[in-house]
Chain A
């Protein structure tokens, strides 16, 4: 069924950067539109409202997630902020700080320039957020720093892990992050083409490297949890690469691959650089795409390798 999300006239989705659902099935979409904006739809796709119009922290969307209490968390890689909204849509807590515009424009550092040391309360193009059962907060940070940072539920720094590199425990573009019921943290280590697993104290546990280049990871809820990961086609629109990428993997938490589905493409059921996966219901996924300005709802049949999209 096309057009899952019903937009009011004059409202358009831009790049589908983030998608997440809450406990009522409402769908939150964080998009790079004319401005970066956050929309809420009901479970049928009816537009409900916009959250954070003109917000100081909305510069360049990267991810939206909804926690166990239905708080809405937006991760913005332009403002370097993680913004927690309460379910009513008001700002409840802020992590990181947007650089002051008063500083003007600075020249882009050379490609081989050393990265300045990461600071406890500052991000450098952060990418995603997740929580353990205690409510501790984990931020993947990101394009600039190569680490995962842990805060307590009140936003106080606890620890961080990761430096740029390809050894176990190192990271090269941690792009997406998810946690399981035990607080294990799954990090999409995108440029290293692997998922790294850490425990809730950020101790390195495992590497899963048979799923291509992970752009988006998600861990489903319930007694039997699954790990989803998207080997998204690169956003350069190169046909040769598109032909061999784009599929989404379903895994056990131990990394065993149960199956995969989908391929690169512009049509329904095909994927155009998937950027975020919501898997609250393991057989009913939402995916947002960069190079198609849309969100798709995917119904997985228990039999592997079958999929329908609406």
Chain B
């Protein structure tokens, strides 16, 4: 009976059942604020943090205020997010993309294996690829032209492009995209996102190939795909936030398995190297100090350990929205609620 039940559930459900009984080990860690900001520069909500091969630190932050310029019956938006580069010492190096058309509501920054800088902006529905010099190389998606002013008593949001919410509309355009990742061949995977509920795959030249998912709880469906990472084999890991699971797909979007036991995954990172780890943050939701732990996992979903809790103090985390894990024992963590980056050193058990 039990066996057949397992067979019925399939391999996907096995891993969480097997791991559920073991208490999760705490990981020893320390944390510092690695960034030295110039006098008149402030971070806002840190939506993205990433490092390049030289160890330089890139921070994409919601800062300042999105300006709305009143038109006739339309309102035009610009600004509200900035991209900064720091040396590994924390010294401020430069700002990239000042006043950029697509910098509205920061969601993420990731660095690919050629040190290109990829910015994901949920306000402009854009994924922007900068070369290492900081010039725009490629653009996916398009910023909506304007916000329509509501009729009396009405409600407006930034316009929902590409179909009804949660329908997983195919195609090139995004609706609140949240994250980007690549496989070894350079194919691009975009988690799209908070409205459209799908993963979109593009080839390395930006040509749309396919997409999968829509709102739901079944395998292959998402309830807010919030982050995405790809391992060395090209398997695609999606943080399925409100389903409290990580789903793993093969390179073509075929469902392979799902992991649970690490709370509601808000952001993922897979470290490089021969032994890859998967990091996942059970970030506290807005307006709470619940949860907040970051989990270190094997790629098979078994949990190595966890660390941290929600809070405002050093070593605590406030709505973690980004993890950089180029070095698996030295993470960079970006927080929305605490407007900061922390460099987290994981200490091996003595």
Contacts and interface: CB of A to CB of B under 8 A. Distances in A.
Contact of A91 (B154, B289, B339): B339
Instruction: Tell me which of A52, A104, A119 has the highest count of chain B C-beta atoms within 10 A of its own C-beta.
Output: A104
A130 B193 CA distance: 41
B164 interface: no
Contacts of A121: 287-289
Contact of A154 (B104, B122, B156, B313): B313
B62 interface: yes
A145 to B, nearest CB: 12
Given A55-B42, A56-B63, A97-B287, A156 B311 contact: yes
B338 interface: yes
Interface residues of A, number: 33
B176 interface: yes
A240 interface: no
B157 A103 contact: yes
Contact of B158 (A58, A104, A155): A104
B339 A53 contact: no
Interface residues of B, number: 40
B338 A94 contact: yes
Contact of A54 (B63, B122, B153): B63
A107 B339 contact: no
Interface string A26-47: 0000000001000000000000
B286 interface: yes
Contacts of A56: 42, 44-45, 61-65, 339
B157 A105 contact: yes
B277 to A, nearest CB: 30
Interface in A69-122: 90-91, 93-95, 97-98, 100-107, 119-122
A59 interface: yes
A54 B42 contact: yes
A156 B311 CA distance: 7
Given A105-B155, A121-B287, A53 B40 contact: yes
Interface in A235-259: none
Contacts of A90: 37
Nearest to B313: A154
Nearest to B312: A155
Given A101-B105, A104-B147, A154-B312, A53 B123 contact: no
A56 B40 CA distance: 13
Interface in B139-158: 147, 150, 153-158
Contacts of B176: 102
B311 A102 contact: no
Interface string B13-47: 00000000000000000000000010010111100
B63 A55 contact: yes
Interface of B: 37, 40, 42-45, 61-66, 80, 104-105, 122-123, 147, 150, 153-158, 176, 286-289, 311-313, 318-319, 336-340
Interface of A: 35, 50, 52-59, 90-91, 93-95, 97-98, 100-107, 119-122, 154-157
Given A54-B63, A102-B176, 5 more contacts: A91-B340, A93-B313, A97-B319, A104-B147, A104-B156
13 contacts: A55-B64, A56-B61, A58-B65, A91-B43, A93-B312, A94-B318, A97-B319, A101-B80, A102-B122, A104-B155, A107-B153, A121-B289, A154-B312
